[in-house]
Structure 1
Amino acid sequence: MKSLHIFCIIPLVLIVFAFAENGSIIRFGSDISVPRGEEVRDAVAIGGNVEVAGTVKNDAVAIGGSVTLHQGADVNGNVVSIAGTITQAEGAIVGGDVVEITGPWEMVPPETLFQILVGARIAMFVALLVLLLLIVALLPDQITSLASVIKTEPAKTVLWGIIATVAIVPVIILLAISVIGIFVIPFFILAVVIAFFVGYIAVSVFVGDALLRAMQKPDVPVIWKGLLGYIVLGVVGWIPVLGWLVSSVASVLGIGAVLELLIRSRAGKVKNTNS
């Protein structure tokens, strides 16, 4: 479930928002350029590169990217690159430390690294498959109800899924404002991860059910529907671009179904819509 990768950057998001000041540039997934003659407080790119030809009053930081200091660049604070490189042209000034943090993967041959990544992905796939089978076996009625929500209310499910996904980071930022909220954040993140995974299981059951109905085999236990759907989604997930798109849609549908079912439960409107 690629959408779960968002939880890997949540701590970075909190750190950036906590220390950012007016005049700072913070970007996620794109590059930052400070032209000659321009001045900013901080330049922080997460998943992008930082190029400086002007002045950075504090720090220039690239997480998952590189920092390039052109001739005439002036960084009063530190220059930091995590999982990237730092290039400092002659005449570029750095008032603080130059910190370049590389990973152990750079010492591994590309073909070996590829094999490790593929092996890790397969292991994750199998581990989540086992967890899926366990959850479906323990909670078949609840998972079936979630799949039914996706089937009967697809538009509403997508809407709730988009709202829930977009709201995650703002809610964490709001929680981080108070001391009590900071302690709540780990539990909130855990709850969101569980909701995404349970929802993904429901989507797997929905996909498996649709495929089995197309094969004129509707009366198959829910656990086999989940297994079939999960395998199909997993195989499609390996296809570049399309796999990312399908996985993202599945995750949004899943979290939307969980939220919709919770709302129905609160309203006392849960019905067994199995067919």
Structure 2
Amino acid sequence: MIGGDVSVAGTVNNTVVAVNGDVLIRSSAHIKGVIIVIGGHLQQEDGADVTNDIVSISFDNATVNSLIIGSGLILGIGALKLAASLLMLIVPVLMVALGKRKTAALVDRYRNAPRGKIFSMGFFAGLLLVAVSALLLLTIIGIPFILLIALFIIAAVAVGLTVASRVFGEQIRGTSDKPDWVRTGAGAFILISAINIPFIGLFILMALVLYSLGITTSWLESLLRNRKKSK
């Protein structure tokens, strides 16, 4: 029944379904099937014989509010994931297109660098940043420094994503004669697709963050060494 109330007083061997209506089960009723009530209320008198399951979904204010909040959260998370994916695709392409020489030199430097060393440097750098952030959270004046750390991590991920995208893009067949930004975009698309895989994508994202922190830490270390030598 859709849009109307249901009253059961006899024997029913099949499923009882009511949408946007109430269901009244009399004491003389014998229902062998499943009872499904959507958008209404179920009332069962004493003595009624119901041998199967009862599914009742009532659209009261609390349920409606929960559905609205849940739908809003799902849409919001989806919008954030889409925006993040677009940024992860656009940023490396722009970095390669606008900074051709510097980006090419950076990629050449870390293309064949030992992966284990980069990941280990990224791991320890990440631990240090987490520890410093935890200490800064204890003080109000430390909040601006936490924002700076967050910006540093975002910048590091942009650099690491650019290097990884360029390297992955070079492995794709048919892109050898394409411009650098096209190969980088193809590699970034592969990485983004992998990151969006449920559960597995989280580990891939963590690996990308560690890889990015390792590259950035190594680059900063080399800058400090060059400055010391120049002095």
Asked if structure 2 preserves the Cα contact closer than 8 Å seen for 1:129 and 1:227, the reply is yes
Residues 145/158 of structure 1: CA separation in 2 closer, same or farther (3 Å cut): farther
Residue 234 (structure 1) aligned with residue 192 (structure 2) = yes
Which residue of 1 is the match for residue 114 of structure 2? 153
1:168-200 deviation digits (Å, cap 9, x = unpaired): 121223445678655433223222221222222
Asked if structure 2 preserves the Cα contact closer than 8 Å seen for 1:195 and 1:258, the reply is yes
1:194-226 deviation digits (Å, cap 9, x = unpaired): 1222222222222212x23xx275454331222
Asked if structure 2 preserves the Cα contact closer than 8 Å seen for 1:204 and 1:230, the reply is yes
Asked if structure 2 preserves the Cα contact closer than 8 Å seen for 1:204 and 1:233, the reply is yes
Asked if structure 1 preserves the Cα contact closer than 8 Å seen for 2:88 and 2:161, the reply is no
Which residue of 1 is the match for residue 183 of structure 2? 225
Q: Secondary structure at the match of 1:225?
A: helix
**Greater shift in the superposed pair: 250-259 or 216-225:** 216-225
Which residue of 2 is the match for residue 187 of structure 1? 148
Residue 133 (structure 1) aligned with residue 88 (structure 2) = no
TM-score if structure 1 supplies the norm length?
A: 0.50
**1:231: Cα distance to partner?**
0.5
Asked if structure 2 preserves the Cα contact closer than 8 Å seen for 1:146 and 1:257, the reply is no
Asked if structure 2 preserves the Cα contact closer than 8 Å seen for 1:201 and 1:254, the reply is no
1:1-275 alignment runs, 5 A limit = 106-108=66-68, 114-148=74-108, 149-175=110-136, 181=142, 183-209=144-170, 211-212=171-172, 215=173, 217-218=175-176, 220-268=178-226
**C-alpha separation between the residues in 2 aligned to 1:251 and 1:146?**
17
**1:120: Cα distance to partner?**
3.8
Q: Secondary structure at the match of 2:201?
A: helix
**C-alpha separation between the residues in 2 aligned to 1:178 and 1:118?**
34
**1:114: Cα distance to partner?**
4.1
**C-alpha separation between the residues in 2 aligned to 1:185 and 1:107?**
35
Residues 259/219 of structure 1: CA separation in 2 closer, same or farther (3 Å cut): farther
Residues 198/105 of structure 1: CA separation in 2 closer, same or farther (3 Å cut): farther
Residues 106/134 of structure 1: CA separation in 2 closer, same or farther (3 Å cut): farther
- Percent of pairs with identical residues: 21
Asked if structure 2 preserves the Cα contact closer than 8 Å seen for 1:150 and 1:157, the reply is no
Asked if structure 2 preserves the Cα contact closer than 8 Å seen for 1:200 and 1:254, the reply is yes
**C-alpha separation between the residues in 2 aligned to 1:154 and 1:234?**
20
**1:152: Cα distance to partner?**
2.2
Residues 110/218 of structure 1: CA separation in 2 closer, same or farther (3 Å cut): same
**C-alpha separation between the residues in 1 aligned to 2:168 and 2:115?**
13
**C-alpha separation between the residues in 2 aligned to 1:184 and 1:230?**
30
Which residue of 2 is the match for residue 91 of structure 1? none
**C-alpha separation between the residues in 2 aligned to 1:126 and 1:203?**
16
Long gaps (5+) in structure 1: 1-103, 270-275
**1:232: Cα distance to partner?**
0.5
Which residue of 2 is the match for residue 23 of structure 1? none
Asked if structure 2 preserves the Cα contact closer than 8 Å seen for 1:208 and 1:225, the reply is yes
**1:156: Cα distance to partner?**
1.3
Tell me which amino acid in the other structure corresponds to 2:131: P
Aligned residue pair count: 164
